[in-house]
Copies of this chain bind each other. A is one copy, B any other.
Amino acid sequence: MWLNSTAQNALRAVLYLADHAADGPVRVDDIAASLRSPRNYLSKTLHALARAGVLRSARGPKGGFQLADPPDRLALSRVVGPFAPAGERRCLVGRADCGNAHPCLAHHRWVRVAAIVEDFFGQTTVADLLKQTAETRAHST
Contacts and interface: CB of A to CB of B under 8 A. Distances in A.
Interface of A: 1-3, 5, 8, 11-12, 15, 88-94, 103, 105-106, 108-110, 113-114, 116-117, 120, 124, 128-130, 132-133, 136
Identical chains bound together, number = 2
A90 B1 CA distance: 6
B110 A132 contact: no
A59 B86 CA distance: 40
Contacts of A3: 92-94
B105 A130 contact: yes
A114 B1 contact: yes
30 contacts: A1-B88, A1-B89, A1-B91, A1-B114, A2-B2, A2-B92, A2-B114, A3-B92, A3-B94, A5-B94, A8-B94, A11-B92, A103-B136, A105-B130, A105-B132, A106-B124, A106-B129, A106-B132, A108-B132, A108-B136, A109-B124, A109-B128, A109-B129, A109-B132, A110-B120, A113-B116, A113-B117, A113-B120, A116-B116, A116-B117
